[in-house]
Amino acid sequence: MHDEPSCRRFSRRAALVRTGMGMGWLGAAGLLAAESEAASAASGPALTARPPHFAPRARAVIHLFANGGPSHLDTFDPKPVLEKYAGREIPNNLPTERRTGAALPSPFAFARHGASGLEVSELFPSVARHADRLLVVRSMHADVPNHEPSLMLMNCGDARLVRPAAGAWVTYGLGTENQNLPGFVAMCPGGYPIKGTENWRSAFLPGAFQGTYVDTRKQKVDDLVQHIRHPLLDRDTQRRQVDLTARLDRRHLEARQHDPLLEARLESLELAWRMQAEAGEAFDVSREPAHVLARYGDGVQGRQMLIARRLVERGVRYVQVWHGEGQPWDSHEEIEKNHRRLANECDRAIGALLDDLVGLGLLESTLVVWGGEFGRTPTVELPMSGTGVSEPSGRDHNHHGFTMWLAGGGVKGGTVYGATDELGFKAVEKRVHVHDLQATMLHLLGLDHTRLTYRHSGRDFRLTDVHGRVITDWLA
């Protein structure tokens, strides 16, 4: 339905591009300006907001990545029957990365929350306050029990090959609403998760769609955002300098019959000037009142959730919040101690983030997604030389079945979708593959995952490759 009007906006060259002669193009929306500078000058830069394929439910995404693989059995998928098997072999032990032994009941208590009675463990009391807003998907499954390919699958839709991240696809499809901020931000305190920048790469999409990495362990705005301030000049002095450049540029422009390319360049300098102020402000949580800061809690998780909220408030399209460098949720041992510590670090901040999104009226249009690259086994991991696991007290990776939850963005809250088997090993009811999650996320954003394509190497690529189905049961 958008085709007709947007067609008319196209230059002839854009039409060539669109029919697959230039770079790839997505089904409907406006011209991908990255293709040519002439075109971009005419129709705005690559990140200009573009209409989706159909009316969206969400306009932004916050993906809370509990990297390392949080245990669904200790958080959102209670399996009391594990008590019965405690210390015994289970009948259906499935192959995972390492050896596992007997069943390991969850050391955490579950309770029902909200009008929906959704079950959440004691690890996430603040998240549990929002039980009626959560869509808990207990039947996720992925392909292999290893971090690297599973991270790639979750983020980029392919376990091995070099493919763009979901956030890159979304900003490619929709642009972003605030040109003074990056459209896709990936925050991870202390360094990179496993697979590093590949998790937010643009791959064959133009570099403009790559996630902008922010190390949220850092506190000063200058350290958070690259080139956000002149290293030596204050704002007034720099303004005079920019004015001089602009004056020289205008003269240059006049001698060149106002080439739209040069006009765009002049505009971009002003844009950057405004961005300095706006980005500096957006990332500066110290501007929040003390009571807000207190609700999010001290520490890096509170700070990065707050930044996430401030970014989405300002029109950033896709925000990823990683728990931390490496694979923090990877509790191969001492899961009781480790999961308690990890949840304790982030629960309050996630609760506050949801509170604020509700309070600001943003949750309706912001899809919040929580989860890891997989879950963990209902069985205990056995010690093995070289793994550093000396006591059987943790759980191994589990891609056969795990839980993710979604909130806001047009999903049905207070709902449990799908189920794992009796012991929580494998998703058996209403199985949801990672590609299905991705297809549905795009759907919520108003994008048809089969039409969001990009021509590369002679073929049209998409986030979900030839897979994925939209799970309409999730829609509110």
- Residue ranges in 405-434 that form contacts with another protein under rule CB under 8 A: none
Of 183 and 371, which CB lies nearer to another protein in the complex structure?
Answer: 183
Of 15 and 476, which CB lies nearer to another protein in the complex structure?
Answer: 15
Q: Which residues pair with 319 in a beta bridge?
A: 62, 185
Using the rule CB under 8 A, give the single segment among 80-88, 260-268, 353-361, 370-378 that binds another protein: 260-268
Q: Give the integer Cα–Cα distance in Å for 124 and 393.
A: 21
Phi, psi at 388, each rounded to 5°: 80, 0
Instruction: Find the binding residues for another protein in span 343-402 (CB under 8 A).
Output: 382-387
Q: What is the smallest separation between the CB atom of 311 and another protein, expressed in angstroms?
A: 15
Q: What is the smallest separation between the CB atom of 297 and another protein, expressed in angstroms?
A: 29
Q: What is the smallest separation between the CB atom of 110 and another protein, expressed in angstroms?
A: 29
Site string for another protein, 451-470 (x = CB under 8 A): x---x-xxx------xx-xx
For the chain, the first-to-last Cα distance in angstroms comes to 23
Of 241 and 286, which CB lies nearer to another protein in the complex structure?
Answer: 241
Please identify which residue in 198, 347, 373, 421 interacts with another protein, judged by CB under 8 A: 198
Instruction: Indicate whether 161 belongs to the interface with another protein (CB under 8 A).
Output: yes
Q: What is the smallest separation between the CB atom of 89 and another protein, expressed in angstroms?
A: 10
Q: Which residues pair with 369 in a beta bridge?
A: 63, 406
Please identify which residue in 55, 80, 231, 361 interacts with another protein, judged by CB under 8 A: 231
Q: What is the smallest separation between the CB atom of 295 and another protein, expressed in angstroms?
A: 32
What DSSP string describes 245-289? Answer: HHHHHHHHHHTTTT-HHHHHHHHHHHHHHHHHHHHHHHT-GGGS-
Q: What is the smallest separation between the CB atom of 48 and another protein, expressed in angstroms?
A: 10
- Dihedral sign, Cα of residue 80, residue 83, residue 84, residue 85: positive
Instruction: Indicate whether 275 belongs to the interface with another protein (CB under 8 A).
Output: yes
Instruction: Indicate whether 8 belongs to the interface with another protein (CB under 8 A).
Output: no
Q: Which residues pair with 135 in a beta bridge?
A: 406, 415
Q: What is the smallest separation between the CB atom of 15 and another protein, expressed in angstroms?
A: 5
Nearest of 272, 264, 266 to residue 238 by alpha carbon: 272
Instruction: Find the binding residues for another protein in span 293-332 (CB under 8 A).
Output: none
Q: Angle formed by the axes of helices 166-174 and 434-444, to 10°?
A: 20
Instruction: Find the binding residues for another protein in span 82-141 (CB under 8 A).
Output: 93-96, 99
Q: How many C-beta neighbours within 10 Å does residue 134 have? A: 29
What DSSP string describes 93-140? Answer: ----SS-EEEE---SS-EEEETTTTEEEETT-HHHHTTGGGEEEEEEE
Instruction: Indicate whether 45 belongs to the interface with another protein (CB under 8 A).
Output: yes
Of 361 and 458, which CB lies nearer to another protein in the complex structure?
Answer: 458
Pairing of strands 366-371, 419-420: unpaired
